[in-house]
Amino acid sequence: MLSGHEHNFQHGQVDGVDYVVSGAAAKLQDGSPCSWEEGGTVSWAREAHCLLVEVDSERIVVTPYGATKVGEEPQPIRALTPDGKPPMPPSPSEP
């Protein structure tokens, strides 16, 4: 599920559904998201970004990319868990 409109990046999981909230292409929201548990928040970032969404017959992969200087390769933003740590990557068997 892709949605907006918080001024940050959020990834949540509730009842087996992944939710991506993206709204940080311009102004960023001060502070961190609230209602972590209710939103099933897995990770978030307070960075300007855009999303690369790759779709095939097996899965959808969403990667948020941050600002890129001229001549540099785009880099994914650094999303963190609610306790400030990098999230665990999915295992290769997960879609």
Tell me the pLDDT tens digit for each residue of 14-23: 998 998 988 8
How many whole angstroms separate alpha carbon 51 and alpha carbon 65? 6
Q: What is the mean pLDDT of residues 64-80?
A: 90
Tell me the pLDDT tens digit for each residue of 22-69: 886 667 777 777 777 877 888 888 888 889 999 999 988 999 998 888
The three-state (H, E, C) secondary structure of 30-72, written as one string:
CCCCCCHHHHCEEEEECCCCEEEEEECCCCEEEEEECCCCCCC
* Cβ–Cβ under 8 Å, residues 43 and 20: no
Determine the pLDDT at residue 90.
Answer: 56
Of 54, 40, 52, 48, the residue nearest 23 (C-alpha): 48
Determine the pLDDT at residue 89.
Answer: 65
